[in-house]
Amino acid sequence: MDERAEETLLLRARRGDAEAFGRLVREHQSTLRGFLRRLTRGDAALSDDLAQEAFLEAWRKIGQKREEGSFPGWLCSIAWSRFLMHRRRRTEEPLENANDAPSLEPEPASAAKLDLEKAMARLAPAERAALTLCFALGYSHGEAAQILDMPLGTVKSHVLRGRERLISMLEAKR
């Protein structure tokens, strides 16, 4: 979908057009659910619940969305805060390393990609989020800082530390 069509859909959604919002959902559901699957270490049911909550919140607050910043970026920031709220409620995942086995869904992927997903699942959530936003989703560090509501320096250090830990985990595996 080109930028102009998305702008038009956003305008219509702001005026309360649920059909336009539905088209935006269809366009961005894969990205948001993929991002949340990374955050939840492959828990498809939980990530879908969080994605639904995030989209419902986006629908409720679409009138408050600022002009600057992309729609998918805004969705990711809502999803991130939903994920943090969920973690605060459950407090099941340690803040730093998660050494239990990730519940990654079986999917056709190269061995290297599978190793990466497993190593990713052992990173702290903020590191996972920062790496996913800056690499897989192509956001700049500044945009990622806005999405995660963190200072730029913190995002940069999450990316740096995350990369170092990934390298050491992937090397240990070889």
CB 79 within 8 A of CB 51: yes
Structure tokens given for 173: 């595996």
Element (H, E) at 55: helix 44-61
* Binding flag, residue 80, other proteins (CB under 8 A): no
- Which of 40, 55, 79, 145 forms a contact with other proteins (CB under 8 A)? 55
Give the Cα separation of 129 and 133 in Å (integer). 6
Q: Does 116 engage in binding with other proteins (CB under 8 A)? A: yes
How far apart (Å, rounded) are the C-alpha atoms in residues 30 and 76? 12
Looking at the Cβ atoms of 1 and 68, the one nearer to other proteins is: 1
Q: How many residues bind other proteins (CB under 8 A)?
A: 43
Q: Is 67 in the site for other proteins (CB under 8 A)?
A: no
Of 45 and 88, CB closest to other proteins = 45
When asked if residue 170 is in the footprint of other proteins (CB under 8 A), the reply is yes
Q: Assess contact for 141 and 134: CB atoms under 8 A.
A: yes
Residues in contact with other proteins, shown as a per-residue x/- string from 3 to 42 under the rule CB under 8 A: --x--xx--x----xxxxxx--xx--xxx-xxx-xx----
Which sign does the torsion angle of CA 97, 48, 77, 69 carry?
positive
Task: Considering the complex, state which of residue 24 and residue 150 has its C-beta at the smaller distance from other proteins.
Answer: 24
Return phi, psi of residue 149, to 5°. 55, 50
Q: Does 123 bind other proteins (CB under 8 A)?
A: no
Residue 102 is encoded by which pair of tokens? Answer: 């990730």
Q: How far apart are CA 106 and CA 87, in angstroms?
A: 24
137 binds other proteins (CB under 8 A): yes
Kindly list the residues in this chain that would bind other proteins in the complex (CB under 8 A): 5, 8-9, 12, 17-22, 25-26, 29-31, 33-35, 37-38, 48, 51-52, 55-56, 59, 107, 109, 112-113, 116, 131-132, 135-138, 163, 166-167, 170-171, 174
